[in-house]
Chains A and B, each alone.
Chain A
Amino acid sequence: MPTKVKKNHRKEERSLFALGNEAVVEGALLAGCSFFAGYPITPSTEIAEIMAERLPKRPDGVFIQMEDEIASLGAVIGASLAGRKSMTATSGPGFSLMQEHIGYASMTEVPLVIVNVMRGGPSTGLPTSPAQGDVQQARWGTHGDHPIIVLSASDVQECLDMTVRAFNLSEKYRSPVILLLDEITAHTREKIQIPNRETYEIFSRIKPSMPPEWFVPYEESMRGVPPMPALGEGYRFHVTGLTHDVNGYPTSRPEEVEKLMQRLFRKIDQFFYDIQIVEETACEDAEVVVIAYGCVARSAHLAVLQARELGVRAGLLKLKTLFPFPRPAVERLIRQCRTVIVPEMNMGQMSREVKRVNNGLSSVRTLNRIDGQIITPAEILKVLQKA
């Protein structure tokens, strides 16, 4: 009797006509996410809805709709402590509510992924219109000084790739990772390739290998990232948002506080080149460079190609990592070119970073739109021609 061959779709590469939000779910599942807690908010809701359908069908998959965004991130932190790769998705107002817990996750070094599909604001603002107003909130929204990793995506395939990357970075560096999307990227439907699991390098947190009696939960090491056991695995330790010593107990002794804070920063600084990713188009001989991210980067891409046809030596630097700010890549282009143009759908949250790096080396022009409308290629082209 022939053995029954079970069809395994996951092994094969397949293509899908998907929304950006749908691609986020695919990416998360590829990366091994098995816990989602969230609260509905436009324009991120599809992520929760698709998760609600997909997760219960997977072994150990858990979806739970919480009472608000604060509770959602609380549950995500709890699940991650219990050993799950966990995520939540939200939009501007919900993201604001999550800030205290983002700080908690940074302090306690709990890996998790937060997708923020940005919408117009402040306040309830423009729920169904695109914006890029949460860039600095993602960096500095929570209180206290802390490092953070913020990524972005500009098309549907990238939504998938960057979600996988977000999980990998969070697990590698035991840090919350924020994926910033905009309404256009999240609601665009495009054909994407869903690769099989082997295509991606999937990283999971390193667990302690020593016997529990020897385990020091926040020990200094070369990597700066301590191994992380799950609750209930025999490594009992104290997790607290208070500044803690290497054993995890609250402390306010200056030498212990300093040591912890320095390590938190160092683990991100040390691996800066692993975290930083940018994409360059026609930058080799560019005199004018557009620096853009999210859906604006797509407009900029077309504008740069059109400008080249018109004889302008234009280039595009697309930022995929927003924070830590990819300073080396930006600085190199600033030194090379005459003018830098930063178009974005806010009043200049990223151009502020570019200007900081620029330090008077070349001229920085901004192109801002805050009326809930996309920045078109024609608008960018106009500025490119004048530059």
Chain B
Amino acid sequence: MAEVTQLIHHYLRHNKRFPHVLCPGCGHGIVLGSLVRSVHQLGLTKDEVVLVAGIGCSGRIAVYVDFNTVHTTHGRALTFATGIKMANPRLKVIAVMGDGDALSIGGNHFLHAARRNIGVTALILNNNIYGMTGGQSSSTTAENCYSTTSPYGQQEQSFDIVELAKAAGAPYVARSTVLHVKLLDRIITTALERPGFNLVEVLTPCHTQFGRKNKFKTTVDMYKWYKKNAIPLDSLSKLPQEEQQQRTPIGIFVEENRPSLEERYAAITCRLEEASK
């Protein structure tokens, strides 16, 4: 325990006025813990890590950690991250976004960051709802779920973030829930190690806005539902066909090696420099 506390004090900002803004039972703190452990395990210095965050509950976690932190506009975290990475490729750029942030308002930027393969680790904290704004539908709110803007049940289909990232060409795509912390630690560490665009989707409960409206009596019920519903990718195929569609696979979906945009750009500048000599 003492070791954990030391780690927390090393990475949290001592001059920030606490408490934090997150509700009891929220999973965002678990993701932050996982991120800090990954950074620590890889031996990255606090100076070389840039944490870029969007707007909403997930956006606020950037305030608490002692990295270079940029709290951007709604949905545009990846555009800022792109500028930072291209301006200084030595920095380890991490973008933390919510589901509304990354896929509704920022959907276009998400697709293009994946297509470009810019060297950014994107963490999407998916709680299927707009939490801070007061529980409106997001593009990952499942069909027939209730929210303040779908009082009669959501009529639209929801996005599958993993499928979207795969289609857009992201070379590393992984998903975990905040209940599967060991897996979460592992996939975030791998993502941080790799060049190019790495996507990690984290399913994290929002009991305050999502759970209460959708018949989860307590926060614990939501975690239990994650436990029941999430299934490791390699166990999925062992299930009968109709049950497969009910469950959410977790694990690593894509792991390919492709040169990142900043590497390809550096190759061009090198070639031009050679030619001018």
Contact = CB atoms under 8 A, between A and B. Distances in A.
Interface stretch (A42-50, A122-130, A229-237): A229-237
Nearest to A72: B79
A231 B88 contact: yes
Contacts of A71: 76, 79, 82, 108-109, 112
B79 A74 contact: yes
A232 B48 contact: yes
Interface in A280-323: none
Interface stretch (A242-250, A266-274, A369-377): A242-250
B112 to A, nearest CB: 4
Interface string B51-90: 0100000000011001111111100100111111111101
A174 interface: no
Given A67-B112, A232-B91, A249-B16, A239 B83 contact: no
A170 B130 CA distance: 36
B interface bracket (residues with beta carbon within 8 Å of A): 35 or more
B170 to A, nearest CB: 15
Interface stretch (A82-90, A159-167, A335-343): A82-90
Contacts of B80: 74-75, 77-78, 81
Contacts of A59: 273
Contact of B70 (A64, A78, A234): A78
Contact of A236 (B66, B84, B111, B272): B66
Contacts of A219: none
A37 B62 contact: no
A104 to B, nearest CB: 5
A367 interface: no
A35 interface: yes
B192 interface: no
A255 to B, nearest CB: 15
Contact of A238 (B17, B63, B83, B88): B63
Contacts of A353: none
B41 interface: no
B84 A66 contact: no
Nearest to A61: B269
Interface in B25-56: 46-48, 50, 52
A366 B204 CA distance: 60
A79 B87 contact: yes
A66 B71 contact: no
Given A75-B80, A82-B84, A84-B87, A62 B72 contact: no
A70 interface: yes
A240 interface: yes
Interface string A28-41: 00000001010000
Contacts of A56: 265, 268-269, 272
A247 B252 CA distance: 39
Interface string B136-174: 000000000000000000000000000000000000000
B84 A78 contact: yes
A328 interface: no
A53 B91 CA distance: 26
A81 B84 contact: yes
B28 to A, nearest CB: 16
Contacts of A78: 52, 70, 79-85, 87
A126 to B, nearest CB: 27
Instruction: Name, among B17, B68, B269, the residue most crowded by chain A CB atoms within 10 Å (CB to CB).
Output: B68
Contacts of B47: 232-234, 236
B276 interface: yes
A57 interface: yes
A79 B84 CA distance: 5
A75 B48 CA distance: 19
A240 B69 CA distance: 8
Contacts of B79: 66, 70-75, 78
Contact of A231 (B50, B66, B72): B50
A242 B87 contact: no
A239 B70 contact: yes
B15 interface: yes
Nearest to A35: B87
A76 interface: yes
Most buried by B among A86, A100, A240: A240
A68 interface: yes
B68 A231 contact: yes
24 contacts: A37-B83, A56-B268, A61-B269, A62-B265, A66-B79, A70-B79, A71-B109, A71-B112, A73-B79, A74-B76, A74-B83, A78-B83, A78-B87, A80-B83, A81-B70, A81-B84, A82-B84, A84-B87, A232-B91, A233-B47, A236-B66, A238-B71, A247-B15, A249-B16
Given A62-B87, A78-B83, 12 more contacts: A56-B269, A61-B269, A66-B79, A70-B76, A74-B72, A75-B83, A75-B86, A78-B80, A81-B70, A232-B50, A232-B88, A240-B70
Q: Which 3 A-B pairs rank lowest in CB-CB distance, beginning with the nearest?
A: A78-B83, A74-B79, A75-B83
Interface of B: 13, 15-17, 46-48, 50, 52, 62-63, 66-73, 76, 79-88, 90-91, 108-109, 111-112, 265, 268-269, 272-273, 276
